[in-house]
Amino acid sequence: MQKGFLFITFVLLLFAKPALAQRPLLNMPEHDDKPYYFGITFGFNESVYQISYTSAFANTDTFKRIQPHWQPGFNLGLIGNLRLSRFIDLRFVPSLAFASKNLEYEYGYPTDSVVNKTIESIYMHLPLQLKFKSDRIKNFRFYGLTGIKFDYDLAANARSHRPDEFLKVSPTDFGYEIGVGFEFFNPNFIFSPEIKLSQGLTNQLYPDHGLQLTNAINTLHTRMIVISIHLEG
C-alpha cells in the first residue's frame, strides 16, 4: 500500500499546484450547474479476508494458526454522476477490481509446516454512492461519500472440481463503502484523488467440508482499501 500512497501523493502535488494557484477566473465555472456528467477512474487496492474460526479450529490440532495478509491489486472503471442538490450527488462507479487475498496457515502436529496461498479475484464492482460536497473554494472542493456495493467475482472457484483447491469462495458479495476525496478544477477536467474503505458483509466461504480449511473457518468477509484517481468532465 505504501507504493500506492507515494504515487497518489506525487500526482496530487503535480495537479494541485496549478489548480490552487491564484487566478482571476474559475476553471469550469459552469460545471456545478450540470445535471449529470461522466468520468473515468483508476487506482490501487489492498484487500484482505477477515476470518472467524469454528470450534474445530480450537479443539483440534490440525492447524496451529490461520493468518490473513493484505495483498495489492488495481481498479479500472467509469463514473456516472447525477446532481441531486447543491451539496449532494448520486454516483454510480462500475469498475473491474483485480484483487488478491493471502492466507498463511501452519499445520499442527506432526508436520508443523507453513503454507502460503493466494486467492485471486476479478470483481465486477458495482457501487451506488451518495457524494456530499463542500462549497467550492476557487478551484478546490472536498467531499465525503457513503454507499452500498454489489460485487461479483468472475474468478470465484465455488463450483470448481480441481483436486488442488484448498479453499472455495462464493462469487457474490454485498457491502458498504465510506470514503473521502478532493476535487481540483483544471481548465478542461476535474482531477479527484480519493480513498475509500469497501467492506463486504456476505460470508464468502463456500461450504465444501472435504477441504480441511473449510472445517476450521466459520466466515470469510472481504475488506478492501481503494486509492483512486478520478478524471471527470
Instruction: Decide if pLDDT at 51 tops 80.
Output: yes
Average pLDDT for 115-122: 94
Predicted confidence at residue 108, as pLDDT, reads: 82
Predicted confidence at residue 6, as pLDDT, reads: 52
CA distance 30 to 94: 26
Share of the chain above pLDDT 90, in %: 71
CA distance 93 to 25: 31
Predicted confidence at residue 3, as pLDDT, reads: 53
Q: What is the pLDDT of residues 151-194, one digit of tens each?
A: 999 999 888 877 778 899 999 999 999 999 999 999 999 999 99
Give the residue among 21, 7, 3, 2 at the shortest CA–CA distance from 229: 7
Confidence of residue 8 (pLDDT cuts 50, 70, 90): low
Task: With beta carbons less than 8 A apart as the criterion, state whether 132 and 117 touch.
Answer: no
Dihedral sign for Cα 223, 51, 112, 157, please: negative
Predicted confidence at residue 10, as pLDDT, reads: 52
Centre a 10 Å sphere on the Cβ of residue 130 and count the other Cβ atoms it contains. Answer: 14
Confidence of residue 61 (pLDDT cuts 50, 70, 90): confident
Predicted confidence at residue 165, as pLDDT, reads: 82
Q: What is the pLDDT of residues 29-50, one digit of tens each?
A: 999 899 999 999 999 999 999 9
What are residue 35's DSSP bridge partners?
Answer: none
Domains by residue range for the chain, with CATH: 2-232 (2.40.160.20)
| CA 51 from centroid of its chain's CA atoms | 18
What pTM value is reported for the model? 0.85
Predicted confidence at residue 11, as pLDDT, reads: 52
Predicted confidence at residue 205, as pLDDT, reads: 94
Predicted confidence at residue 145, as pLDDT, reads: 98
Instruction: Decide if pLDDT at 197 tops 60.
Output: yes
Instruction: Spell out the long-range contacts of 148-151 with Cβ–Cβ below 8 A and sequence spacing 24 or more.
Output: 148/174, 148/175, 148/176, 148/177, 149/125, 149/174, 149/175, 149/176, 149/177, 149/198, 150/126, 150/174, 151/97, 151/123, 151/124, 151/125, 151/126, 151/175, 151/200, 151/222
Share of the chain above pLDDT 70, in %: 89
Confidence of residue 198 (pLDDT cuts 50, 70, 90): very high
* Cell numbers representing residue 199 in the block: 467492506
What are residue 39's DSSP bridge partners?
Answer: 79, 232
Instruction: Decide if pLDDT at 28 tops 70.
Output: yes
Predicted confidence at residue 2, as pLDDT, reads: 53
Q: For residue 45, give the amino acid letter.
A: N
**Length of the chain counted residue by residue:** 233
